[in-house]
Amino acid sequence: MSLYEEGLDVAGTPSKPVWEKCFAWKPVRVHGKLVWLKTVYRTYGYDYLHGMRWLPKYGTIMDVLKDS
């Protein structure tokens, strides 16, 4: 399968965010608010400001629908 068919660009990063459902056992920040003990959605992206780290980004079902 090619990178294009998998939805990845040349660098191997997803061209669209791939959201996965997860349960927030510990506090996570969703749109500036701390949320825990709820179901949230998570995707990963690079943090260029702090040295190209692969960091999670949390969102709600509305973020998933917006990006699909």
Whole-angstrom distance, CA of residue 19 vs CA of residue 68: 9
Its pTM stands at 0.67
pLDDT < 50 positions in the chain: 1-6
Whole-angstrom distance, CA of residue 46 vs CA of residue 31: 18
Q: What is the pLDDT of residue 13?
A: 55
Residue by residue, DSSP assigns the chain as: --TTTTTB-TTSSBSS---EEEE-SS-EEETTEEE-SSEEEEEEEEETTTTSEEEEEEE-HHHHHHH-
Amino acid making up residue 51: G
